[in-house]
Structure 1
Amino acid sequence: ISNDGKRDSDIDFMLKHFNLNISYEACLGFTINDYVEAYADGREDKLFELLFDKIDQLHQAYDFILIEGYPRTVFASALDFDLNLEIAKNINTAYVPVLNAKGKSVESILNEVQFATESIEEEACIHLATFVNRCDPNMIDDIKRLIPDREQIFLLPEEKELDTPIIREVVDALKEEKAEMIMGEPEQLEHLVSKKKIAAMGVENYLKRMTSDSLVIVPGDRVDIILATMLSFYGKKHPNVAGIILSGGMKPSKTIMNLLKDVDESVLPILAVESDSYQTAIALNSVQAVMRPENKRKITLAKGIFDAAVDKKAIADRFNKSSSEIMTPMMFEYKLFERAQSRRQRIVLPESSDERILRATEILLRRDIVDIILLGNKKEIRHQSALLRLDISRATIINPCKSKLREVFSQKFYALRKHKGLTLKAARDALEHPNYFGTMMIQEGMADGMVSGATHTTADTVRPALQIIKTKPGISIVSSLFFMCLDTKVLVYGDCAVNLDPGASELAQIAISSAETAEQFGIEARVAMLSYSTGDSG
């Protein structure tokens, strides 16, 4: 939404026109300033997470969500990419650009259409349709001839009435001038205002310059102009103005008002303002036409234009058939957080001396999605986190060398491995190593998982799990995998760290294990077998 702090008129319109039982706040995204500041600070992912949360909440109650973007010109000076496309890509939704063709040539319109199409393709978004709004009716046939048939591009003609303000919008714009309606009916506030006229001359010359649908600004003591304007309404050959604004804080006398009200019906709305005619005319320059839920005439006109220009069935069919395999890193991370939050786990981090681990710990604790157990010297961990200005106070810290659990774990580890020649002393020595201690915590149900490998080798990380927890039934070989987060997809690469020269059957098992892991993380498994060469062998 805009940065001015005002309620968004489009949101208000949708809520009232469609009678939606949704709070205004639930429909708000974020302002341009919010995003620009977050982008500059490297925090834009946090805004996207808030947006994801809001969309998820709406999805629980509604079948369809429409997200209105912002004009490219609004953020073009601050960002070198299309924010709307960035949002569409990260929430994996169909995208419909709406282009403004007012005052543009055929060539310029075609260039904008091509640019929008290529931008959507480049971001791998679903291109549902393109609406080119406010086209010169005389250009539409020329544009259609030059647009490829395969593209769903719809040209909507300019309709002057939709861009013409009404009396109600004039009243809103003149609030500071204390505008009030002193005569007329509420429905007359819907009168269109095509022009404004300041009446400063005599009646005869004024009548020659009157135009239909104009708003007449006249000092409140000019009874002659007021009466002539109202009388012209009944003239068959005279224009009908939209209304009258009485300026200067002056109103007709009670006698004149009674005369005006004595007419059979209130033919014109009459407003009174405190400002003079010139100030009032200046204020009217800021009046903009806005689609309002009360203006049935404009709504009906807009719907008629849309129905005539757009193949709604084709768009609906395209939407129902559309699907996307986009998975951006931001989406992937958000889904991981969602799953973690819905199934809270206890995670052991054995590399607590590493700054990255401590920073990650603070992030996880702040988001309150997991219980963290840090292994190491409590004083040293607290001191290092204080130096880094990190708050990890909610983490559990266990020193394997001093914990009473060490002896308990040593005895159990010895029992598991004594048939392999392990001695009790060797078991006790092993349990001083945080990876062994953390693995035993998982074995004994004191933790649900462990993350290691930031400072330890792959062998040091995998060996305790092989010796204590062992492989799943049916799995004949241990393998590793990486999640490669690309711009619009997440790929699983396995095995890149454990098995140096696997045979055919081992490769098959690695592929199966990697595919199963991918499915567990919500990634559709389609396996490709890749060969590789090292050094100068290839």
Structure 2
Amino acid sequence: MNPTQPTAASEPLISQDIYIAGVDEGSGKSLIMLAIIEMLSGYADNIGFFRPIIQGNADKDDLIQFISHRYQLGTPYEAMYGCTSEEARHLLADEQYDELLKIILAKYRALKTRCDHVLCVGSDYRHGNAIFEFDFNADVANNLGCLLMPVMQGENRSDEQILNGLASLKHSMREHDCESLATVIIGVAQNQIASLRHSLNHSSEFPVYVVPAESSLEKPTIGNIAKVIGAKVFSGESATMSREVYHYKVAAMLVPDFLDYVETGDLVITPGDRSDIIMASLMAYNSSNYPQIAGLILTGHQQPAPQVQKLIDGLGGTPFAVLGVDSDTFTTALLVSQVTARLHSQDDRKIATALGLIESNINMVELRLRLCSKVSHKTTPLMFEYDLLQRAKAKKQHIVLPEGNEERILRAAEILLLRDVVKITLLGNEAEIRQKIQAMALKMDNINIIDPIKSDLRPLFAETYYQARKHRCIVYDTAFDLMADPSYFGTLMIHLAYADGMVSGAVHSTQHTIRPAFEIIKTKPGASIVSSVFFMCLEDRVLVYGDCAVIPNPNAAQLADIAINAAETARMFNIEPRVAMLSYSTGESGKGEAVDKVRDAVKIAQTLRPDLLLEGPMQYDAAVDASVAKTKLPDSKVAGQATILIFPDLNTGNNTYKAVQRSSGAIAIGPILQGLNKPVNDLSRGCTVTDIVNTVVITAIQAQEADKT
């Protein structure tokens, strides 16, 4: 096929980044990379290029150098990769796989801030574990939010082998839940092209392009070889470095025998003192009776004899490149045999050949239209966590942690301070807390600590509480005593703007944590109750569950309030609200008091907020599974793609979130309280340090949003 490109004015803007990954070693992904970035550069002004991992050696990454030079990107080299292979190995050895992904994500996002579009090219197969390599690249593509474009090698494979490999690839991509742009099979023999395309039956759901083999692209150039083996260039114009090497020949024989074996495109390897071979090569090149070689390598740290060099200079130089190396002939031949073809920005002929081959076999218009329509809405836990941290850091908030002497709280506080996410105040006995910090060897020398019992703020807080609660027969002395309690003291800090938010519950019960907030902070306008949600971070998306922690058996009006507040909470964290009101029955099929309550709640919520995508009652599977939704609620705008799931009661919600968390490995962040005037959040007493960090970050973002109102 030979597609005609439409004019730029008629084309929609590309809105999605691409991640090209090889399925096996030597897949040919660099050729696809070249065609894709050529396409992108025709429609966007500011293109970025990124590699998740590069080889940690003295030389810079070949692909980064090639793209930077050819397209004049102007991006610093260090900004165009995630980490080196050595750094990645250390992290994996320490079982810090997620930390590796976070480093790559952070570098990618930093690059994306300066670019309209970013093309990512996956890691190279250098460690002999192809299965792990593709799995890793699929994980990275998911966490970067890119469309994956796998490249398979079809060289020396039958149709059956290629189709089996493609089936395995599809299975792997389904397991990783990858968003796919298209798959390319490259290097297929010409006599297989027609039958393979017929067998594939190119579909819009899983498009597969077949690219035939091109022998000139599979061969390394003289320049490739010179760079890899570290050869010096003795003679030859720059154009001679772009010649493809089809074979290499060791010339250790007499000239007559050598001439019988020489072929077009040979790289001749011979000791530097073999003046006869040098002269024979030069004469054979200029003779119509013998083929033209690609170049000559002189081994053994020897240059041509002065007389021979003088003769060559008199002829105006050699018509082919003459290279020199220090190694012996056998070692040099071994090194040359291991060099693979690579693109270089100076290889104009090879670049033109590659672009012509790819563009004549991949419908670039079709691919680009698919790129515009296949916008990924995937949100992985790492993406969600990264976005939260960046938002929290953008406008730092002051968070108070009442359980200041709890070890997990201290470790979380250290992480938050080292990452400069929030300002923190710990509550408790200062001497005890500082002693524990020292014993744990934490870096928290400048942490702010307040002892509620000794604080100068205690009388002010007591008076404020007394005035607010005296109608409940509270006397000042009782209020003063209550201010010795860190939960009450922390709540008054927020109420009187000495802090922006509070997180507690690692030691204290939920009631102990939130009762002061109910008494002092109270609900914000429009919220009749305080409820909670959990952010359930699944492998490829983040769902909002509510209420799983606060209201045991909400009535219809309360259920509607929970749903509306959950939608606002989701929107606050960039989750598009699509609310499913859950029950044991879907649609109109069920009868009974419990399902009627949900129906009434739906009517109330839709009346109060007709702008929300909110439907119910529906069962959990109909809410999250598109295939079930198609059968049970085919016309629904929520079913099959719900982002918010509202449970009918606390028993159902609490058990469901724990079942999903334990059975799927999902990360559950919460409970996050909603409906309060100021953010106060409760921790589970079984919480981890990561749970605390995430909850503090979410509290900081809630505080940012509260400042806007």
User: For the superposition of Structure 1 and Structure 2, which TM-score range results when normalised by the shorter chain?
Assistant: over 0.9
**Aligned mates of 1:77, 1:136 — CA distance in 2:** 23
- Matched residue, 2:63: 10
SS in 2 for 1:241: coil
The 1:123–1:280 alpha-carbon spacing in structure 2 relative to 1, beyond 3 Å, is closer
Structure 2 CA distance for partners of 1:506 and 1:135, relative to 1, 3 Å: same
CA distance in 2, matches of 1:173, 1:55: 29
Please give the alpha-carbon distance, in whole angstroms, between the structure 2 residues aligned to 1:489 and 1:251. Answer: 63
Task: Give the Cα–Cα distance (whole angstroms) in 1 for the partners of residues 97 and 220 of structure 2.
Answer: 38
What is the one-letter code of the residue matched to 1:171? A
Matched, 1:126 2:195: no
Of 66, 85, 90, 2:119 maps to: 66
Which of 383, 397, 404 is matched with 1:331 structurally?
383
Matched, 1:156 2:211: yes
Match 1:513 to one of 559, 565, 584 = 565
For 2:66, give the aligned amino acid.
F
2:341 paired with 1:289: yes
Q: Which residue does the alignment assign to 2:108?
A: 55
Q: Give the equivalent residue in structure 1 for 2:437.
A: 385
Q: 2:281 aligns with which of 229, 249, 253?
A: 229
* Residue 102 (structure 2) pairs with residue 43 (structure 1): no
TM-score, normalization by structure 1:
0.92
Equivalent residue in structure 1 for 2:410, among 358, 374, 381: 358
1:503 corresponds to 2:555: yes
- 1:395 is the counterpart of 2:447: yes
| 2-structure distance, mates of 1:72, 1:284 | 20
Question: Residue 247 of structure 2 is aligned with which of 184, 195, 199?
Answer: 195
Deviation at 1:248, TM superposition (A): 4.5
- Letter of the 1:121 counterpart: R
Hey, what does 2:76 align to over in structure 1?
23
Structure-1 residue corresponding to 2:608: none
Cα distance between partner residues in 1 of 2:280 and 2:89? 55
Query: 2:81, 2:104 within 8 Å by CA — same for their partners in 1?
Result: no
How far, CA to CA, are the matches of 1:67 and 1:508 in structure 2?
44
How do 1:240-255 residues align onto structure 2 when only pairs under 5 Å count?
Answer: 240-255=292-307
> Are 2:282 and 2:318, in contact at CA under 8 Å, matched by a contact in 1?
no
Select the residue among 227, 243, 257 that pairs with 1:172. 227
Q: Which amino acid aligns with 1:435?
A: S
Partner deviation per Cα, 1:208-245 (whole Å, 9 max, x = no partner): 22211112233445444333332223332321112233
- 2: distance between equivalents of 1:449 and 1:482? 18
Shift in alpha-carbon separation, 1:42–1:467, aligned structure 2, 3 A: farther
Are 2:155 and 1:102 aligned? yes
* CA distance in 2: counterparts of 1:87 and 1:284, whole angstroms: 34
Contact 2:399 2:424 in 1 (8 A): yes
Per the alignment, residue 576 of structure 2 pairs with 524
* Residue 457 (structure 1) aligns with: 509
Matched, 1:310 2:362: yes
Aligned-residue offset at 1:37: 3.2
User: How far is the alpha carbon of 1:195 from its aligned partner?
Assistant: 1.7
With over 3 angstroms needed to count, the CA separation of the structure-2 counterparts of 1:75 and 1:506, relative to structure 1, is farther
| Cα distance between partner residues in 1 of 2:479 and 2:134 | 57
Return the alpha-carbon distance in structure 1 between the equivalents of residues 237 and 126 of structure 2.
Answer: 40
Residue 63 to residue 196, structure 1, CA distance change in 2 (3 Å): same
When residues 518 and 330 of structure 1 are mapped into structure 2, their CA distance, relative to the original with a 3 A threshold, is same
Give the match's secondary structure for 1:138: helix
Q: Which amino acid aligns with 1:98?
A: V
Paired with 1:221 and 1:397, the residues of 2 have a C-alpha distance of 79
Tell me the CA shift for residue 174 of structure 1: 4.4
Match of 1:115 in 2: 168
Counterpart Cα distance in 2 of 1:301 and 1:78: 31
Q: Which of 190, 195, 199 is the matching residue for 1:137?
A: 190
Distance 1:263 1:376, change over 3 A: same
Structure 1 counterpart of 2:481 = 429
Compute the displacement of 1:116 (Å).
2.0
Q: Is the 8 A contact 1:93 1:125 kept in 2?
A: no
The aligned amino acid for 1:501 is: N
SS of structure 2 residue aligned to 1:46? helix
Q: Secondary structure at the match of 2:225?
A: helix
Q: CA deviation at 1:324?
A: 2.6
SS of the residue aligned with 1:389?
coil
Is 1:184 aligned to 2:239, yes or no? no
* Secondary structure in structure 2 of the residue aligned to 1:139: helix
Deviations 1:284-324 (A, max 9, x none): 33333221101111111110110111011111111111123
Percentage of identical aligned residues = 39
Give the counterpart of 2:464 among 412, 418, 422.
Answer: 412
3-state SS of 1:65 partner? strand
1:347 correspondence with 2:399: yes
Do 1:134 and 1:159's aligned partners in 2 also have CA atoms closer than 8 Å? yes
* CA distance in structure 2 between the aligned counterparts of 1:461 and 1:441, rounded to whole angstroms: 14
The SS at the match of 1:320 is helix
Farther-moved stretch of structure 1 (163-172 vs 258-267)? 258-267
CA contact (8 A) 1:2 1:8 kept: yes
Q: In the alignment, is the contact (CA less than 8 A) between 1:124 and 1:326 conserved in 2?
A: no
The C-alpha deviation readout for 1:168-203, integer Å capped at 9, x for no partner, is 23333443xxx4433332222222222222333333
Do the aligned partners of 1:211 and 1:240 also contact (CA within 8 Å) in 2?
A: yes
TM-score normalised over the length of structure 2: 0.71
Cα-to-partner distance string for 1:435-462 (whole Å, 9 max, x where unaligned): 1111111111100000122222222222
Change (3 A) 1:220 1:82: closer
Measured in 2, the distance between the counterparts of 1:515 and 1:377 equals: 40
State the 1:524 CA deviation: 1.2
**In 2, Cα distance between the equivalents of 1:529 and 1:485?**
20
* Greater Cα offset, 225-234 or 150-159: 225-234
In 1, distance between residues paired with 2:398 and 2:302? 76
- Cα displacement (A) at 1:77: 7.6
Q: Is 1:473 aligned to 2:473, yes or no?
A: no
CA shift for structure 1 position 34: 2.8
Give unpaired runs (5+ residues) of structure 2. Answer: 1-53, 584-647, 653-709
Give 2:213's aligned amino acid.
E
Maintained 8 Å contact 1:36/1:79? no
The SS at the match of 1:66 is strand
SS in 2 for 1:506: helix
The answer (yes or no) to whether the contact 1:373–1:395 under 8 Å persists in 2 is yes
Give the letter for the 2:517 counterpart: A
Q: Look up the equivalent residue of 1:186 and give its one-letter code.
A: S
* 1:141 maps to amino acid: A
**DSSP-derived class of the 2:259 partner:** helix
In 1: Cα distance, 2:121 partner to 2:133 partner = 20
Query: Could you tell which deviates more after superposition, 344-353 or 236-245?
Result: 236-245
Structure 1: gaps (5+ residues):
none
What residue is the counterpart of 2:200 in the other structure? 147
Q: Report the AA paired with residue 82 of structure 1.
A: D
> Offset at 1:40?
4.3
2:182/2:208 contact within 8 Å kept: yes
